[in-house]
Amino acid sequence: MSQPSARAAELAVSAQADAFLTEPQIATLTTLRPDGSPHVAPVRFTWDGEAGLARVMTVASSRKARNLLASPGSRAVLCQVSDFTWVTLEGTATVVDDPARVHDGARRYAKRYWSGPPNPPGRVVIEIVVDRVVSLNV
């Protein structure tokens, strides 16, 4: 196993929060529309604590991907909630269509959710470089 990156160490994600983020649950992803209003969508995602990277599988034509493509370098927020426990991951998001990275995102998704994600034309992965973690009861 590789050593945690400096970025992951800076995030100070507790072992409990890290474990919570690997449970096969749904989260909300918030991005900003071009007019500045928030777009919130339920998503499945994966968390790579060593890299400080969250990934969301989607298609380039989705509202969430279009929001990010319209504003390169913009931020996104993922929030996973279960009862009175939650973890929020915030960071800079990028829509990636590189086949190797999309494949890696799909592989990680299949491992977390026990089945592969849909594979429609135009599939991409949103990668969020997490720089802020907020949590409660973990």
Phi then psi for 44, rounded to 5 degrees?
-100, 145
Q: Give the pLDDT score at 42.
A: 98
* pLDDT values of the chain reduced to their tens digit, one per residue, 138 residues: 333 344 544 677 889 999 999 999 999 999 999 999 999 999 999 999 999 999 999 999 999 999 999 999 999 999 999 999 999 999 999 999 999 999 999 999 999 999 989 889 999 999 999 999 999 998
Give the E-state strand segments of the chain in sequence order: 27-32, 38-43, 46-48, 53-59, 75-82, 85-96, 123-136
Our separate counts of H helices and E strands in the chain read 4, 7
114: left (phi over 0), alpha (psi -120 to 50) or beta: left
Provide the 8-state DSSP code for 31.
E
Say what the pLDDT of residue 94 is: 98
Confidence (pLDDT) at 11: 74
Q: What is the pTM of this model?
A: 0.90
User: Tell me, what's the pLDDT at 7?
Assistant: 52
Using the 8-state DSSP alphabet, how is residue 137 labeled? -
